[in-house]
């Protein structure tokens, strides 16, 4: 091949690379359509409000319990008045609600089910499915635009088996929208959290991950008392026989072991709706035919210093997403930044 031919091939290759790069960049931009009516938060992707929204498809990798560690998520967004609505659908072969429940054994005693390989905060056997968004608040997290939320991940960092999550320095803040299929979504909420620069310590086990302030509600593990769970749901239905793997605090009554048979499981978590800043985000989720559908809603502007503020509809807001399949921390993620923009 002569020099001119080589130059032509090189030029074509460069043009293809540029087109691919441009296409990939376009695929990473989610445009929130301006809708006339809000979607109903019932985890129905067929709601008329979603029809005008153009979807983007994002490949996620590296997650525990997904086939080959991968899943695909479809995202849509619309806004109506002062509210933003988002839709996410991702592939998951089964729904996981069995979050560290108690099981009654043949001898009448109760066992709290645990992942035998969990070396600390790394349960991949008895956990809930989850989905998370993380927003780069005010563009403060350096490197986020190019590397996405992966710039805040510190894998393998002691003392945790999976590592920690935090930003590089003070003033770099991320807004985390954490959809938890057992702890928050039964109450119609997404856990509103944030990320900062703080490192792990014995007094700060979450490292950079923190919850927004709340004035009431929340979730807590059901404690054991006299060898049995301290509380149960007042309907006394086993979680694995038509009951739930959560007990609402309003429905909690003292445990009566006589109402359960060997093999029955009961909730290991008690939940109540968040009040205050932590309860800013509403949501609903449903699993069917190997796919989760999640809808969420939040005001464009909350005024909270822990939240991303969509106060400029001409602006661009970078974010990342992650899916958790029966995994406490080992999520499938997209290692490039996504961008939300608003249509006029």
Domain 32-211+271-342 has CATH 3.50.50.100: no
Query: In the 8-state DSSP scheme, what is residue 199?
Result: P
Residues contacting residue 80 through CB under 8 Å, at least 6 positions apart: 34, 35, 36, 37, 38, 49
User: How many helices, marked H, and strands, marked E, lie in the chain?
Assistant: 2, 25
**Cβ count within 10 A of residue 22:** 10
What pLDDT is attached to residue 27?
81
What pLDDT is attached to residue 14?
31
Three-class secondary structure of residue 19 per DSSP? helix
Q: What is the mean pLDDT of each run of 10 residues along the chain (344 residues)?
A: 33 31 62 97 97 96 98 98 98 97 97 96 97 98 94 93 96 98 98 98 96 98 96 98 98 98 98 98 98 98 98 98 98 95 96
Q: Judge whether 236 and 265 are in contact, CB under 8 Å.
A: no
| HSE-up (13 A, CA, CB side) for residue 5 | 2
Q: Which of 172, 144, 188 is closest to 43 using CA atoms?
A: 188
Return the residue matching tokens 């991968």. 70
Q: Which of 286, 305, 287, 300 is closest to 77 using CA atoms?
A: 300
What pLDDT is attached to residue 24?
42
Please give the full DSSP string across 88-144, using - where no structure is assigned: EEEE-SS-----S-EEE-TTS-EEE---TT-SSS---SS---EEEEEEEGGG-STTH
Q: Which of 307, 298, 300, 279 is closest to 137 using CA atoms?
A: 307
What pLDDT is attached to residue 335?
84
Measured distance between the N- and C-terminal CA atoms of the chain, rounded to whole angstroms: 52
Return the residue matching tokens 């509600």. 217
What pLDDT is attached to residue 51?
95
Whole-prediction pTM value?
0.91
**Cβ count within 10 A of residue 315:** 12
Angstrom distance (rounded) from CA 93 to CA 200 = 34
Three-class secondary structure of residue 249 per DSSP? helix
What pLDDT is attached to residue 121?
94
Q: Judge whether 268 and 245 are in contact, CB under 8 Å.
A: yes
Q: What's the chain's average pLDDT?
A: 92
Angstrom distance (rounded) from CA 209 to CA 62 = 20
What pLDDT is attached to residue 26?
54
Return the residue matching tokens 């729904």. 95
> What letters, b where the CB count within 10 A reaches 16 and e where it falls short, cover 159-177?
ebbbbbbbbeeeebbbbbb
> What letters, b where the CB count within 10 A reaches 16 and e where it falls short, cover 202-214?
eeeeebbbebbee
Angstrom distance (rounded) from CA 283 to CA 27 = 25
Between the CA of residue 209 and those of 115, 192, 206, 267, what are the distances in Å? 23, 11, 5, 25
């Amino acid at each position: 091949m002569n020099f001119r031919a080589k130059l032509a091939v090189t030029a074509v290759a460069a043009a293809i690379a540029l087109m691919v790069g441009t296409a990939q960049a376009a695929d990473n931009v989610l445009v929130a359509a301006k809708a006339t009516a809000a979607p109903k938060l019932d985890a129905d992707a067929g709601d008329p409000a979603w029809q005008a929204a153009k979807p983007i498809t994002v490949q996620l990798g590296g997650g525990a319990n997904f086939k080959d560690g991968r899943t695909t998520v479809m995202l849509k967004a619309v806004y109506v008045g002062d509210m933003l609505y988002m839709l996410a659908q991702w592939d998951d072969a089964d729904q996981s609600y069995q979050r560290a429940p108690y099981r009654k054994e043949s001898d009448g005693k109760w066992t709290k089910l645990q992942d035998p390989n969990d070396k600390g905060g790394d349960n991949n056997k008895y956990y809930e499915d989850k989905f998370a968004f993380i927003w780069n608040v005010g563009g403060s997290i350096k490197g986020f635009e190019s590397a996405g939320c992966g710039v805040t991940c510190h894998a393998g960092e002691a003392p945790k088996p999976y590592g920690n999550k935090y930003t590089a320095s003070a003033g770099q803040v991320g807004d985390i929208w954490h959809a938890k299929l057992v702890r928050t979504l039964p109450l119609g909420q997404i856990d509103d959290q944030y990320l900062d620069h703080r490192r792990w310590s014995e007094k700060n086990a979450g490292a950079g991950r923190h919850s927004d302030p709340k004035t009431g509600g929340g979730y807590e593990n059901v404690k054991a008392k006299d060898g049995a769970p301290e509380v149960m749901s007042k309907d006394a239905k086993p979680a694995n026989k038509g009951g739930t793997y959560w007990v609402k605090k309003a429905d909690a009554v003292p445990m009566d072991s006589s109402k359960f048979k060997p093999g029955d499981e009961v909730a290991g978590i008690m939940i109540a709706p968040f009040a205050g800043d932590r309860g800013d985000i509403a949501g609903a989720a449903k699993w069917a035919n190997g796919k989760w559908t999640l809808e969420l809603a939040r005001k464009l502007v909350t005024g909270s210093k822990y939240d991303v503020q969509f106060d400029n509809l001409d602006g661009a807001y970078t974010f990342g997403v992650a899916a958790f399949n029966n995994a406490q921390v080992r999520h499938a993620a997209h290692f490039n930044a996504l961008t939300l923009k608003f249509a006029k």
